Amino acid sequence: MVNVIFSRRHHLGSVLLRTGMWSPWSHCGVIEGDTVIQAAFGAGVVRTSLAEFKGIASQWAVVEFPASETFTAMAAASQIGKPYDLAGAVGIAVHRDWGEDDSWFCSELVAYALQEAGLPLFRDGAPRVTPQHLWMLNYPIIESTE
């Protein structure tokens, strides 16, 4: 199993992303122990404590994905230091292959990790992946602020 945390904040960027994606969530990351591997604007791919991730969120939810290769998912997500994919974040309207590993938007990184762990989520050629796409996959919510 791979746990993914979805979040939102009370700042303008989060509101704009949620509005543009028609989503309750603006961000997501992969939970590894007591940390979250995430692609964050201005920082790129980083590891953050789970407590800090939850602490800055106005709302969050943890979803359990039934990936068979948890270790492989963590290895795939551990792209620490890679840059943030601004084209993926702003360019939801821009067609970019979200599987390219040169830079990452949060949901691209999560989808890539799950795919590498044996849980293909989308048909080949899906032009983009957002937190909303991952949220709509209907896996169990195991913890949330609600």
pLDDT the model gives residue 120: 80
Domain assignments of the chain as residue spans, ordered by start: 2-144
- Of 116, 29, 41, the C-alpha closest to 85 is 41
* Eight-state DSSP code of residue 73: H
Q: Are 144 and 15 in contact (CB under 8 A)?
A: no
- Residue type at 37? I
Q: What is the DSSP letter of 92?
A: G
**Tens of pLDDT, residues 69-108:** 999 999 999 999 999 887 766 555 555 555 566 888 899 8
pLDDT, position 39 = 94
- Is residue 39 within 8 A of residue 104, CB to CB? The reply is yes
Q: Could you read off the pLDDT of 5-39 as tens digits, one per residue?
A: 999 999 888 888 788 878 899 999 999 999 999 99
C-beta of residue 53 within 8 angstroms of C-beta of residue 121: no
Whether the predicted pLDDT of 127 surpasses 80 = no
Closest CA to 84 of 112, 109, 103: 103
Look at residue 53 in the predicted model and tell me its pLDDT.
97
pLDDT at position 89: 61
> What CATH class does 2-144 carry?
alpha beta
Contact 134, 110 (CB under 8 A): yes
Position 137 pLDDT exceeds 70: yes
Which range, 41-45, 50-54, 82-86, 91-95, has the best average confidence (pLDDT)? Answer: 50-54
Query: Minimal CA–CA distance to 31: which of 109, 90, 139?
Result: 109
* Cβ contacts of 61 within 8 Å, gap of 6 or more: 5, 6, 25, 141, 143, 144, 145, 146
Nearest Cα to Cα of residue 39 among 117, 142, 112, 109: 109
